[in-house]
Amino acid sequence: MNVTHLECSLTNEHYAAGEIHNLSRAGKPLIVRYDLDRAREKLTRDAIGQRPAGMWKWREILPHDGDPVSLGEGETPLIALPRTGGANLLVKDEGRLPTGSFKARGLAMAVTMARQFGIARIAMPTNGNAGAALAAYGARAGIETIVICPAETPAINVTETAAFGARVYVADGQIDECGALVGKGAAQGLWFDCSTLKEPYRLEGKKVMGLELAEQLGWTLPDAIFYPTGGGTGLIGMWKAFDELEALGLIGAERPRMYAVQAEGCAPIVRAFERGEEFAERWEGAATVATGIRVPKAVGDFLILRAVRDSGGAAIAVPEDAILQSVEDVARDDGFLLCPEGGAVVAAWRQARDQGLVRSDERVVLFNCANGNKYPLPDRSKRLTLAEAEVGAL
């Protein structure tokens, strides 16, 4: 293991590796730091290219010792959307991962570290896909899992999570309120709190999206990345990954513009970005069909805003009708079924294009965070009586 220490993301205070941690003493996320000089000796372009595809090939800059808790996390493809946006518009389809979403990356790593530390019981709040991933990897590792969902969580996510053996509770209130209950139980020693960015290792699993992206694009980075942003772990993780790749000599200093995408019904990051604030106030009355980004208050808000601003990007909010229309359009035009959060990203890209924030000749990567089949779809089929059907009228 190449971990040297953990570091408070706000104060830079150091914490010892090899110990169980949640937030720093300042109440902010802890960041894992590595001996990158040592990692550089083995993590060359040639060596990486010869390893089997998947998130665990990056072991020199991942925190675990020994075998990971794995369900076969493969490399997710980059797929062009030529009719939607031309050859330069690519979507990274995270719906191909175990449990059908990018939450598999972060929870595979978090559960791997929990097993390494001998943790027996884990709890977290979820709007859906994270709970399913925690339950699946917890089952794989033999760790008990407790999941608390807001009432608006899609039913398929609730039943999927329970199918993996988790204790699942559906509660009134938003995800941050469910998270407060998880935190209360952790303080009483009932379980370990695995909420977004309240432990250090989900971030390390999510950053692999950025590592993969660089390799897939021939050790270059796109001009812009549009990312569905609730807790923002993936956006923060990719920004960290790019710095590590540069320190390893695998890429240069160029960075993509990072666009944090939220729904108009829950846009605390967008509001803080537009006001020039460092931290985001809680969003009251959060509501959106894109439940994965329905996060009224993110513990890593300042890290999201920092990455967006440092990259020259922006935070963009999109309306509900644009989200739904984008899902419909991309399925019809390019044969790609987005999840609602992916629909939000396409809508944000369209908005940014119309406002001149991105050009048609720029290479843009959109993140589809989950399999679109996990969400309710409108039934547009027509009924047919076979005995009376005329083929020519079909």
**Does the residue 211 lie in any domain?**
yes
* Minimum mean pLDDT range among 116-125, 208-217, 338-347, 380-389: 380-389
Is 14 within the bounds of a domain? no
In a shared domain, residues 132 and 86 = no
Beta carbons within 8 Å of 364's beta carbon, 6+ residues apart: 85, 88, 89, 90, 222, 223, 224, 225, 226, 349, 358
Q: CA angle, 108 as apex, 162 and 187 as ends, to 5°? A: 70
pLDDT score at 381: 87
CA distance 239 to 117: 27
Residue 35: both structure tokens together: 């001996």
Are both 357 and 211 inside the same structural domain? yes
- Amino acid 67 reads D
Segment 21-37 shows an average pLDDT of 97
What's phi and psi for 140, nearest 5 deg? -65, -35
Q: Are residues 288 and 153 in the same domain?
A: no
Count of the separate structural domains present in the chain = 2
3-state DSSP call for residue 3? strand
pLDDT at 153 exceeding the cut of 80: yes
Residue 386 domain-assigned (yes or no): no
Asked, for residue 93, whether it belongs to a domain, the answer is: yes
Domain-located, residue 247: yes
- Six-digit token string for 238: 């990719």
- Which pLDDT value is given to residue 394? 82
Is residue 390 in some structural domain?
Answer: no
- Read off the amino acid at residue 246: E
Higher per-residue pLDDT: 152 or 298: 298
Confidence category of residue 390, pLDDT binned at 50, 70, 90 = confident
Note the pTM of the prediction, 2 decimals.
0.95
CATH number at residue 184: 3.40.50.1100
Q: pLDDT value at position 392?
A: 80
Amino acid at 250: L
Q: What is the pLDDT of residue 325?
A: 97
Residue 236 has pLDDT above 80, yes or no: yes
CA–CA distance, 53 with 77 (Å, rounded to integer) = 11
78 contacts 94 by C-beta, under 8 angstroms: no
The answer to whether position 178 is within a domain reads: yes
Categorize the per-residue pLDDT at 354 as very low, low, confident or very high, splitting at 50, 70 and 90.
very high
Which residue range forms the structural domain that includes residue 273? 78-100+202-374
Which domain-ending residue is among 169, 193, 217? 193
What mean pLDDT is reported for the chain? 96
- Same-domain pairing of 136 and 236: no
Is 90 exceeded by the pLDDT of residue 383? Answer: no
Q: Is pLDDT above 90 for 6?
A: yes
Residue 338 and residue 207 share a domain: yes
Closest CA to 197 of 230, 227, 167: 230
**Residue 286 shares a structural domain with residue 159:** no
* pLDDT tens digits, one per residue of 273-291: 999 999 999 999 999 999 9
Do 312 and 355 lie in one domain? The reply is yes
Q: Are 131 and 94 in contact (CB under 8 A)?
A: no
Torsion of CA 198, 132, 226, 252, to 10 degrees: 60
d(CA 258, CA 239): 9
